[in-house]
Structure 1
Amino acid sequence: MAGTKRRTTGRISGENVVIEVAWMYYQQGLNQKEIADRLGISRATIVNYLQEAREQGFVRISLNSEAFTTHRSAVELCQAFGLKAAYVVPDESADTETAFYRVVQGAADWLPELLAPGDRLGVAWGRTIYELAEATAETRIDDLAVLQLVGSMATPYGFTAEACSTRLAQRLGARCYNLHAPAILSRAELAAELRAEPIIHDQLARLETCNKFLFSVGTCLPDSHVVGSGVASQEDLEWYVARGAQAVLCGRFIDGTGRGIDGPLEPRMIGIPLERLVGLEMGILVTPGLDKVEASLAAIRGGYVSHMVTSLGVAEALLASA
């Protein structure tokens, strides 16, 4: 904030006054007027200092996860779909974009609680996962590894696979293992040769050591990111949809029961096989919008999901389809 470092309030100045204000407000429970009177500055300045404290990371505001995991809809999701836990955020007054960010923030707040030292967290890609990484507070979990599960793609989006894994690893203080290969190649023979290369072979083998999996499913709608990212063409999408595709998981198509659809893209892809993602210690699905209800149902039915983060509206839609 312009002028902060030049402003003085008696014995404190600069960054110290921001910390002092934050302490008085959050720890001592003083209101803004009481702090303003004590420091001899305006209430508007106190508001600015509190905002700066949050922006600088001096203050982290979080809600107790139990408020969301013990919510009636969260409990019903677990009962209906056999989940171990669900985290449901309110969305009654929220528009689509606001609801999206509420779910993302909820997932970012809950994720560190779900991880333990020594975990190997496999990470999918997409806007949801990237924004989740951005929203995750910096922390450190000992001996945590983050693994990119899908190869790279030439995409107009900022949320490439390597960007998602790298950013999340930075936030969690984890080692990051990216996959240094394209997500899709032009020929199956070329993909097979690349998988056999010692470096790529070792990287793919490492992916299969993941014990937890963080992802959001993609849709099979015409504007699906699987097309926009160049992993599939519009013709590919139509081919898979005609054969029952309901969702995209780590760049691969699955049907309504969660089974992978064997098609022309599979031999050309570089990434973890779908069967390696079933029955892990933890599969954390983040579903921020109603457009992903059918895709989420497919992932749940396929055995990929043990934990879920979503909004109340999506939870109700899922329960209505149970």
Structure 2
Amino acid sequence: MANPKRRTTGQISGENVVITVAWMYYQDGMNQKDIADRLGISRATVVNYLQEARERGYIRITLNAPAFTTHRVSLALCQKFGLQGAYVVPDEGCDAEARFMRVVHGAADWLPTLLQPGDRLGLAWGRTVYEMAELVEEQQIDDLTVLQLVGSMATPYGFTAEACSTRLAQRLGARCLNLHAPAVISSVTLARELRAEPIIAAQLEQLETVNKFLFSVGTCDAESHIVVSGLASLDDLAWHQAQGAIGVLCGRFIDAEGRAIAGPMSERMIGVPIDRLVGLDMGILITPGVDKLAATQAAIRGGYVTHLVAGLGVAEALLAV
């Protein structure tokens, strides 16, 4: 006798079959073989439909944050550095790129749980921030504003400051306030005049209202984004290194205590003064690799960090110093 529950995909058309397979697998708890038998299709087809469901955004797969924020290493980081929270991602056996993507994905999963309606989230720039924005699940957080903290730059990369803020705002259904000025001006006088322009002055004034801050720190070497993007020359880098620069935060060089290093370049920058980013409701730092260890320590000492996202290797290195 034929199975009365058996259906064929001829009876389920278009995207309905994708939704049906996804429901049977994730909601009904059926395995792939049982779904294939029920619908009269191959197991490989079931796998393809499940992949299509994920690509179309029908499925959201997340792990609960407490799994990453309440284990021993996370709690030890909070205790040692006075953090409010630490999200530590397992990274054993991963190469550098896999470690990077795990940490970025963890940050994308955690970020929405840290935001509330009415927040004004300041955003730094760089590959880490951009990739995280790409991975955040599309959702709506009411009355959320995302603000670009550093002016624009011409770079060979897609992760400019305005691309980072615009993309994250789109993913979270937020209002986006971009900064319509170059990040670095050719002269101190011109930078001063540009800051006084009414439209730029109004945008800079908005940055004073930021209550949460998301960022990654940069390194102080010739491969740093601040150099490769053209914001700083090798001469600028050498000058700041001689002054004790250990990292880069929102386009500004910082020393080992997290203090901004004042100099000719800083006077030509258009963006938030980084001392405005100390003592906010939240400072969420994403550190995807041990190459940023010294810069991360500096950011923590400087008071910019309340929440940290990192891989286990970075976390254990921080605890060891």
Residue 250 of structure 2 aligns with which residue?
250
Amino acid at match of 1:110: W
Residue 217 of structure 1 aligns with which residue?
217
Write the distance in 1 (CA, Å) between the matches of 2:71 and 2:231: 38
Write the distance in 1 (CA, Å) between the matches of 2:72 and 2:173: 34
SS in 1 for 2:310: strand
Matches within 5 A, 1:173-184: 173-184=173-184
- Cα distance, 1:178 vs structure 2: 0.2
SS in 1 for 2:246: strand
- Cα distance, 1:93 vs structure 2: 1.7
Residue 123 of structure 2 aligns with which residue?
123
SS in 2 for 1:245: coil
- Cα distance, 1:299 vs structure 2: 0.3
Amino acid at match of 1:136: V
Write the distance in 2 (CA, Å) between the matches of 1:234 and 1:288: 25
Report if aligned partners of 2:222, 2:228 keep a CA contact under 8 Å in 1.
Answer: no
TM-score, normalised to structure 2, is: 0.97
TM-score, normalised to structure 1, is: 0.97
Residue 146 of structure 2 aligns with which residue?
146
Residue 3 of structure 1 aligns with which residue?
none
Amino acid at match of 2:135: A
- Cα distance, 1:280 vs structure 2: 0.3
Q: CA RMSD in A?
A: 0.7
4+ long deviations beyond 6 Å? none
Write the distance in 1 (CA, Å) between the matches of 2:72 and 2:226: 34
Matches within 5 A, 1:196-275: 196-275=196-275
Write the distance in 2 (CA, Å) between the matches of 1:11 and 1:268: 66
- Cα distance, 1:11 vs structure 2: 2.2
Amino acid at match of 2:300: I
Are 1:91 and 2:87 matched, yes or no?
no
Using the aligned pairs only, state the percent identity: 73
Write the distance in 2 (CA, Å) between the matches of 1:320 and 1:246: 19
Residue 308 of structure 2 aligns with which residue?
308
Q: 1:99-154, CA deviations, whole angstroms, 9 ceiling, x for partnerless residues?
A: 10000000000000000000000000000000000000100100000000000011
Contiguous gaps of at least 5 residues in structure 1: 1-7
Q: 1:170-220, CA deviations, whole angstroms, 9 ceiling, x for partnerless residues?
A: 000000000000000010000000000000000000011000000000000
Residue 287 of structure 1 aligns with which residue?
287
Q: 1:71-91, CA deviations, whole angstroms, 9 ceiling, x for partnerless residues?
A: 211111100100000000000
Write the distance in 2 (CA, Å) between the matches of 1:33 and 1:166: 43
Report if aligned partners of 2:217, 2:296 keep a CA contact under 8 Å in 1.
Answer: yes
Report if aligned partners of 2:21, 2:49 keep a CA contact under 8 Å in 1.
Answer: yes
Residue 22 of structure 1 aligns with which residue?
22
Q: 1:274-308, CA deviations, whole angstroms, 9 ceiling, x for partnerless residues?
A: 11000100000000001000000000000000001
Contiguous gaps of at least 5 residues in structure 2: 1-7
Residue 3 of structure 2 aligns with which residue?
none
- Cα distance, 1:92 vs structure 2: 0.4
Residue 64 of structure 1 aligns with which residue?
64
SS in 1 for 2:23: helix
SS in 1 for 2:92: coil
Report if aligned partners of 2:246, 2:254 keep a CA contact under 8 Å in 1.
Answer: yes
Amino acid at match of 1:59: I
- Cα distance, 1:10 vs structure 2: 3.8
Residue 5 of structure 1 aligns with which residue?
none
SS in 1 for 2:264: coil
Report if aligned partners of 2:259, 2:302 keep a CA contact under 8 Å in 1.
Answer: yes
